Amino acid sequence: MNNDVAFYQSVGSVTEKKVFVQQKRVAVGEWMLRSILQLILIAVLALLSYLLVSHYVLQTVQVVGPSMTPTLRDADHYFLNRWIYHWHAPRRSDIVVIKDPSDGVFVVKRIVAMPGEAVHFKNGHVYVNGKELVEPYLSNGTSTYVGGRGSEAIVMCGKDQYFVLGDNRNNSFDSRIYGPVRRQNILGAVIR
């Protein structure tokens, strides 16, 4: 009888060890699975945060071409504040990124006239609502023409429209070509 009890005790003890080892393996497996799921969650949240910030708050932009020289140089990188115009409307002299109405590409330009204002080009000068626009950001001697030299034009900005020009007036495809830009096509302000 003692032998039977000892036999059952040793088998019971091996069984208990097997159950304990299996429980430990399950616990380690659950811990690893939980850790992997946490890492995946962190990666997804990081990606969503990046996308949210870069599409709606702040992103980098690269100037392509010489249309904003001398203020901004070709191939230079800047930040685009996409959030600023949720707080206030675009302002005259703001350097902005717009969606070009003619071909849909994003370009950098300067706002020179606001909604409801008249832009008048005469003798190489720009007038807004009858007053000559002071443009200290232009190179000395820069003239602004629409069409050919000596031509004169008046353009009205409608409701929610802005007139934009490149600072390099002789080498800029801007509102003189495609007209005023709608507010919805202004992505944000360039931070320099």
Which one from 109, 131, 139, 175 is the annotated catalytic residue?
Answer: 109
Which one is predicted more confidently, 133 or 54?
Answer: 133
Q: Is the pLDDT of residue 74 over 60?
A: yes
Q: Please state, as a whole number, how many other Cβ atoms lie within 10 Å of the Cβ of residue 112.
A: 22
Residue 26, burial from CB neighbour count under 10 angstroms (0-12, 13-18, 19+): exposed
Q: Is the pLDDT of residue 109 over 60?
A: yes
In this prediction the pTM is 0.76
Give pLDDT, residue 90: 97
pLDDT digits (tens, 9 = 90+) for 134-178: 999 999 989 999 876 667 899 999 999 999 999 999 999 999 999
Percent of the chain with pLDDT over 90: 65
Give pLDDT, residue 32: 86
Interacting residues of 101 by C-beta distance below 8 A, sequence separation 6+:
178, 179, 181, 182, 185
Q: Is 99 a residue of the active site?
A: no
Which one from 17, 35, 67, 93 is the annotated catalytic residue?
Answer: 67
Q: Is 109 a residue of the active site?
A: yes
Give pLDDT, residue 31: 84
